Structure 1
Amino acid sequence: MSKWYPKKGRVILHVDMNSFYASVEAAYNPELKGKALAIAGNPEERRGIIVTSSYEARAKGVKTTMPLWEARRLCPELIVMRPNFERYRTASKEMFKILSEVTPFVQPVSIDEGYMDITDCEEQGSPLQIAETIQKRIANELDLPSSIGIAPNKFLAKMASDMKKPMGITVLRKRDLQNKLWPLPVGEMYGIGAKTAEKLNNVQIFTIKDLVEADSYYLKRLLGINGERLQNRANGIDPNPVDPDAIHDFKSIGSSETLPQDTTDENEIRKLFRQLSRNVTRRLKRKQSVGRNVQIMIRFFDRKTITRSIKLPDFIEEEDDIFTVSYELFEQHWNGDPVRLLGVTIQDIAEKKEVAHQLDLFTYEKEASKEGLYQAIDKLTEKYGKNPFTTIKHTEEDNQPRTSFQKDFLDDYKK
């Protein structure tokens, strides 16, 4: 058995749930199994965006971020559902509980994937046996499919889990790189997005092998320090440990969203800033944190992107404050061109308990008198999904899934 567990080095698993949102819905309603299913924020509207889809839908060309009208054109029989956040959170929590029963060294990275360091789990069997047990338990107990990568580090484990979907288990050792990893297009490498892939393609780097063989100095000039990091990973080098506490290390909290179509409609823009501010506020409160640097991101119709920020004299956490500051920043720096994407981020984060809020007597009494009200509203908001006392009417409450949703619940399984 010891041959599977090297004296020097690690054994890492990457567990990746397959088509998670759609799979959870099919587990909840077995009649959906085997059918083309997609999760979208606004299934009643043509402008809704596909968040995820079943493999049956993907086989017809349905893809994440695709407009709903296009998905229905490609797949007329497509079943489209709104997201059920509570279901996904519950399923995620149970999945991570299964992982944590194998080892305490579990690092969630999103609601549907995480790393495990099983180096010290020799008594439970070989890495392949452990992976098979995990996959079977998730399938039998939760009725959900998953893929698992086994490797000596996190990067290779992540790449391995992507190689066989759904319900695959892949071992990727350093001696396998030449045959399994290097022939892949460079754009399929974890950590390389579309823009970076385009830059690499423009200099004749088309495969991961090309990246390995490229001049490191030239890569650094082209991509900065990231060029060296990507080349090391392509060579199978990734020193980052599995860190169960990494979910608590955050320096900023943000939310962004692409508009259904490029717009100059100030009412639509203002409404989105309100929603983004609400998302950020929710995450701040979950983490019991405050911040005093507000940053906005504006991506225009031509993909030109700018960020603007302002440091405040005091920490903030409330939706109205974040909205007011971020929208004022937007008004100051918007040139009137059509907007494609907006983002709001709070930086300079600190835990509430560590921040000494300097208040004069009158301010303190005013805030203290409201604390009970704030708590009551938060409880009702948690229960009913929206603030029942809000004076602003929102036509699209929190039905659009956002990336921040995944980050909010990463440590739920420990509760």
Structure 2
Amino acid sequence: MGIGLEVGTLSRIILHVDMNSFYASVEQAYNPELKDKPIAIAGDPKQRRGIIVTSSYEARAKGIYTTMNVGEALRKCPGLILLPPDFPKYRLASKAMFSILREYTDLVEPVSIDEGYMDISAKSKERHPIEIAKEIQLRIQNELDLPCSIGVAPNKFLAKTASDMKKPMGITILRKRDVPSILWPLPVIEMHGIGESTAKKLQTIKINTIGDLAQSNEGLLKEALGKNGIRLRERANGIDFREVDPDSIYETKSVGNSTTLPFDETDIDKLTDTFQMLSAKVAERLEVKKLCGSTVSIQIRDADWHNSSRSKTLQNDIYLKDDIFEEAIKLFHKGWDGSPIRLLGVTVSNVRDRKNSAQQLSFDNYEKFAKQEPIYELIDEIEKKFGKGLIQKGIEIDKKTTYASKTSFSKDFLEDLKE
């Protein structure tokens, strides 16, 4: 069929299904009176944190875009219909969409609430991949009243790139042999996986287009970006051997939270309070998932929308709010120059199950662990007699999940798909 990439004796056919203007489309599906009207999902319009989360294509045609201030959006489009986010509704629609995808293959990998990969290599021996893609698109449209775009390619990178090429309701094939003519002429910032910071670093070594990246010197690239530079060079050449992994929904790599401040803030007390609030939310989500992590990162966006981040990897894993706050505020004081701040974020990454976390002893924590040692010895003795897992530490007893703990929809919606 000319689409697949030879990997051993197998030819892979990967689909990337990307829902179009998902939150806005779900609102229009629930309320047909909103169809063909400019609508936008936003926070509290009375505060500056009321920024546009997403908007319908009718609103986009009038110049409305994600992250635009609500006030600016209303000035640009006086007839704009603003709606608050209805996350339970979006999660329900997401679950229904992924249920349809799983009717075609077990190899479905959700990557966010509104997009996922499918490996239909086995099915494509029975039916043409485009026929399958069209059927999926029509079913999602007819059964859920939601539009989507689908990329068809021999690997995940090209499938993701293809799904972005035609929106809404597009189906695009991107073969590896098409990469030089279609992707290479584009600015490097347009390549999936490259943000502003990486693009600027690439420009310093005279890499301006995707073609420049594809044909760049490997040593120079590794010096500028490390291993990530080599990976990006492979992508620019259409190479991506990653498998579609359904089990990835069980892996959490980081837990974070961010907030847009009501005003461009310089008051250190208010900024400190914000870090305390964010650290508490991150700790709550770690508690619900029984996770801990060794790396703390902060995100700062200033009044001019410039983003910066700092991180620190610790000797021992942490999960308590006071520990997270202590590291986050240290990072902040180390990097803040006093300029007004618009957004702050805190993330704990390199996370793992607390039961698998090993603590390294130091002069600071030796006494704490020495006191616990007799308890561990007693547990070992009991488990030798009666079996492993009979006794659990109190922290491992499941707590009822609260709605407050589910604040990151790019991650937490995955809980719905594990049922």
TM-score normalised by structure 2 residue count: 0.80
Contact kept? 1:92, 1:413, Cα under 8 Å: no
AA in 2 matched with 1:408: D
Letter in 1 for 2:84: R
Counting only pairs closer than 5 Å after superposition, residues 12-411 of structure 1 correspond to structure 2 as: 12-122=14-124, 125-201=127-203, 204-259=206-261, 261-291=263-293, 294-298=296-300, 303=306, 305=308, 307-309=310-312, 311=314, 317=319, 319=321, 322-323=324-325, 326-327=328-329, 330=332, 336-347=338-349, 349-354=351-356, 375=399, 378=400, 381-382=402-403, 404-411=408-415
Structure 2 residue identity aligned to 1:219: L
CA distance in 1, matches of 2:337, 2:160: 41
Measured against aligned partners, the alpha-carbon deviations of 1:239-272 in whole angstroms (never above 9, x if no partner) come to 1111112233334322234545532123532343
Q: 2:10 is paired with a residue of what secondary structure?
A: coil
RMSD of Structure 2 on Structure 1 (CA): 3.4
- Cα–Cα, structure 1 residues 307 and 196, in superposed 2: closer, same or farther, change >3 Å? closer
Counterparts of 1:203 and 1:323 in 2: how far apart (Å)? 38
| Change in 2 beyond 3 A, CA 1:300/1:37 | closer
Equivalent position amino acid for 1:131 in 2: A
Classify the secondary structure of the residue corresponding to 2:12.
coil
C-alpha contact (below 8 Å) 1:281/1:318 kept by paired residues: yes
TM-score (norm 1): 0.81
The superposition leaves residues 14-68 of structure 1 with CA deviations (integer Å, 9 ceiling, x where unpaired) of 0001011111111111111111111112223355211111111111111111111
Contact 1:107–1:115 under 8 Å retained in 2: yes
For structure 1, the residue ranges without an aligned partner over 5 or more in a row are 387-397
Could you tell me which residue of structure 2 aligns to residue 390 of structure 1? none
Change (3 A) 1:242 1:297: same
Letter in 2 for 1:246: S
CA offset at residue 9 of structure 1? 3.0
Contact 1:94/1:413 (8 A) holds in 2: no
Q: 1:319 to 1:25 in 2, by over 3 A?
A: farther
Aligned sequence identity (%): 54
Residues 1:163 and 1:308: Cα distance change in structure 2 (over 3 Å): closer
Residue-by-residue CA offset, 1:294-328 (whole Å, 9 max, x unaligned)? 44444556848452547486x65455664466446
Asked if the contact 2:3/2:175 (under 8 Å) is kept, the reply is: no
- Partner deviation per Cα, 1:226-249 (whole Å, 9 max, x = no partner): 332222212111111111122333
How far did residue 159 of structure 1 move? 0.5
- 1:362-410 Cα distance to aligned partner (Å, 9 max, x none): x99xxx99999x94xx55x43xx59xxxxxxxxxxx9xxx7x3211122
Q: Distance in 2 between matches of 1:104 and 1:275?
A: 40
Contact 1:286 1:408 in 2 (8 A): no
How far the C-alpha of 1:160 sits from its partner, in A, is: 0.4
Match of 2:381 in 1: none
Work out the number of aligned pairs and report it: 389
Contact 2:111 2:117 in 1 (8 A): yes
Cα separation, partners in 2 of 1:273 and 1:15, compared to 1, 3 Å = same
Q: Tell me the distance in 2 between the aligned counterparts of 1:355 and 1:202.
A: 41
**Cα separation, partners in 2 of 1:293 and 1:170, compared to 1, 3 Å:** closer
